[in-house]
Amino acid sequence: MGRQPPRRRGRRGNGADETQTQSGSWEPFQAQSATALCKARSAAARVSTYPQPGLARGGRLDSPEAAFSILRGMSAPKGNARKQILQAALKQFAANGYAGASVRNIVAETPFTQPTLYYYFRNKAALYKALLDLAHDECYERMQAAAARHREFPAQLVETVVALFKTVREKRDLMRLAFASAFAAPKEIPPEARTVTLVKGKRNLAFVESLIRQAQARQALTPAFNSTELAYALYSALTFEVMRFLLEPQKPLNRRRAERLVALFLQGALPRNR
């Protein structure tokens, strides 16, 4: 039997052992200090002296994004790390805004290190975008599920509004972040975050309009106004209720309020005999 080629072993640091096996795979490193990102770059740079997908031999890592590309190729951290990082990021963004929050402070709120954060999120902007995605998707999915439980339009509308109000109550900081992003100055938030706000905000509005359009097709609503006009009228009232609650949490945002709002929308303010 021929002599086996020796295993090439990198320098040991932070309790990490970067070892290249005969198959060329690498055991993941775990950084343990407050300067975890720098050490992640250093370890990844040592890895890059050997062929790596998407990275030239001897390539340099000059940004968190470059370290991210290496970290994504390693084993995923165990547990609900992504969720905990998002919760920590929400706390920091809600308290300090986008510019005032830092990756270092976000990581300090978790039991993880910066390499773990960069495994899931390319940078701070990606974290912020993920939170906005979560805010809009949560509302959309809950409204869809609520509307699907009923066939009659008035009940559909009430349950849809109840679901939206419940989401806002349970995730007040997340919803406040979404509203703040909608009205932020052009350079106040990352461009990709503004895109999420516009695209998914319109999608959620379009869902409400689809319910109205279906009701008009069944002659359950007047044709005097088109579906877009009715959707904007209803959504404007919903937006006001949500903004009022975000500013004054003691104000009710419950089923009773949802029922009254839908009744006003469907019945109007004029006397019935006119």
Cα 53 from Cα 70, distance rounded (Å)? 9
Of the CATH numbers 1.10.10.60, 2.40.128.20, 2.40.50.140, 1.20.120.1200, which one belongs to the domain with range 81-120?
1.10.10.60
Name residues whose C-beta falls within 8 Å of residue 234's C-beta, 6 or more positions apart in sequence: 157, 208, 212, 265
What one-character DSSP code corresponds to residue 132? H
**Cα separations (Å) of 56 from 37, 45, 53, 60?**
21, 11, 8, 9
DSSP three-state, residue 31: coil
Expressed in angstroms, the distance from the first to the final Cα of the chain is 101
| Residue 132, both tokens | 């906005």
Q: How far apart are CA 94 and CA 150, in angstroms?
A: 36
What is residue 157's predicted lDDT score, i.e. its pLDDT?
Answer: 96
Q: Are 220 and 158 in contact (CB under 8 A)?
A: no
State phi, psi for 8 to the nearest 5 degrees. -90, 125
Q: What is the pLDDT of residue 58?
A: 44
* HEC readout, 174-223: HHHHHHHHHCCCCCCCCHHHHHHHHHHHHHHHHHHHHHHHHHHHCCCCCC
pLDDT for the residue numbered 274: 58
Instruction: Give pLDDT, residue 19.
Output: 34
User: Which residues lie closer than 8 Å to 101 by C-beta, 6 or more apart?
Assistant: 89, 92, 93, 95, 124
Chosen CATH of 124-267 out of 1.10.150.120, 2.40.128.20, 1.20.1340.10, 1.10.357.10: 1.10.357.10
pLDDT in tens, 195-240: 999 999 999 999 999 999 999 999 999 999 999 999 999 999 999 9
pTM score, two decimals? 0.72
Residue 271 has a pLDDT of 87
Burial 238-273 (b: 16+ CB within 10 A, else e): beebbeebbeeeeeebeeebbeebbeebbeeeeeee
pLDDT of residue 77: 57
Q: Where are the domains of the chain?
A: 81-120, 124-267
* pLDDT the model gives residue 12: 42
Output the tens digit of pLDDT for each of the chain's 274 residues: 455 544 444 444 443 333 333 333 333 333 333 344 454 455 444 433 333 333 443 444 455 555 555 555 445 555 699 999 999 999 999 999 999 999 999 999 999 999 999 999 999 999 999 999 999 999 999 999 999 999 999 999 999 999 999 999 999 999 999 999 999 998 999 999 999 999 999 999 999 999 999 999 999 999 999 999 999 999 999 999 999 999 999 989 999 999 999 999 999 888 876 5
